[in-house]
Each structure stands twice: as structure tokens, then as C-alpha cells.
Amino acid sequence: MTDATPADAAVVTGSPEGLGEYAERGMGELAEKMGMVFTELSAERAVASIPVEGNRQPVGLLHGGAYVVLAESLGSMAANIHAGPGRYAMGIELSASHSRSATSGRVTGTCTAIHLGGTLTTHEIVLTDDEGRRCSTVRITNIIRDAR
């Protein structure tokens, strides 16, 4: 990977306010392996990006699963922030529609809350290439449970 972001660390830039436990425990092994960089993280809005290089399928396109991993990471983390202390969110439904392929640069996911309830959250994640073109649209619903 030639990107400036190390492949072995998920990075959070910007203010650590609102990151809660994520600032201390990290963003997860898969996020780290994919080179995710988080620039915003709240229940209402979350933004992160991944490099295309290192996450391509054999024909040179960003793997469709990489879009989904980025989107699910954003939606699940936003939902967990909404859940608050002593509660956790876990995905129960996810749908993705890929509309364009990225071959270089970075792909950025912007996650926006559609519904933030007491038991369910729903987020839409729009994934764009470096030129701002939509590559994929993902919707995720998470259920919120009390921690045991």
C-alpha cells in the first residue's frame, strides 16, 4: 500500500470529542487492515475513507465487499454512539447498490442518520470516489440492546 495511511492502523482525525470508547479501543481489526481513516463520528453523521489500493478485486476495481465493510463500519459505529453507555447496537439488515467502480485514490463514506430510536437505528451511507461521484449506496438498520 503506497497510501500515506498505514495499513495496520485505523486512524481517527479531527476532534476526539464524541468518540467515547472508540478513541480508546480503536475501530477494529478489519478497519485497521483496510486502512480506514475516520474524520467524523457521531450518531447523526460519520465520515471515513479507505484507499482503493490494497482493497481491489483481481480485475483492478475496488472490491464490492470493501464498500460494504466501510459502510457497515460507519453505520454500526454511529448506532453504537447513539446507543450510549451500557447498551450496544448490532446490525440486523443491510442493503447495498453499487453504481460505479473506483480504480484508484480513496473512497469516502458519508453516513447520515435516517432514524435514531430507542430500539432501532437506520443510517444511509453514500460512498463516493475522489471526484465526488457516487459509487455505492448502503442502508443499514441496527437493533439496540442492553449490555449483559
Q: Which residues are catalytic?
A: 72
CB contact set of 6 (below 8 Å; sequence gap of 6+): 35
Cβ pair 135, 105 in contact under 8 A: no
Distance (Å, rounded) from C-alpha 143 to C-alpha 148? 15
Distance (Å, rounded) from C-alpha 148 to C-alpha 117? 20
